[in-house]
Amino acid sequence: MVMVINDNIDILREILKRLDGPSLGVAACVCRLWCSMTRNDDSLWEQVCFRHVSSTALASVRAVVVALGGYKRLYMVCVRPVLSRLGGQQHKLHLSLSLSLFCIHSYERFSSDPASSLMFLCNTVNL
């Protein structure tokens, strides 16, 4: 008897939850089902974010994260860029910084007035 992983969505979801961000992105290219799951199931991206940001802190701001675009967006806008700057080192990210950058990015996306831009807050400062 041959088991096809796509026939059991629950097992597939559990497998995808264990992937890191880049691997989850690659998995989205496997087939339409996997693409649909990585696009529409925010809990997969929530698991990726929990690996890099304190899960207790993220759980307490779930409503904010969902309102600003979800965990996939949080990962793409904040967590992934910070991880790439750390050069692959495994650190728990400080939630307030990641969430602040996420809020700034979301504010910029919704704001149509360039004079009210907050992007200067994202620039690197040399001390």
Question: Average pLDDT of 1-23?
Answer: 87
pLDDT tens-digit map of 100-124: 666 766 666 666 665 555 555 555 5
Residue 121: which residues within 8 A CB-CB, separation 6 or more? 100, 104
pLDDT tens-digit map of 72-86: 888 887 778 777 777
pLDDT at position 9 over 80 = yes
Question: Average pLDDT of 67-76?
Answer: 82
Using DSSP, state whether 93 is helix, strand or coil: strand
The domain segmentation of the chain, as residue ranges, is 1-40, 54-127
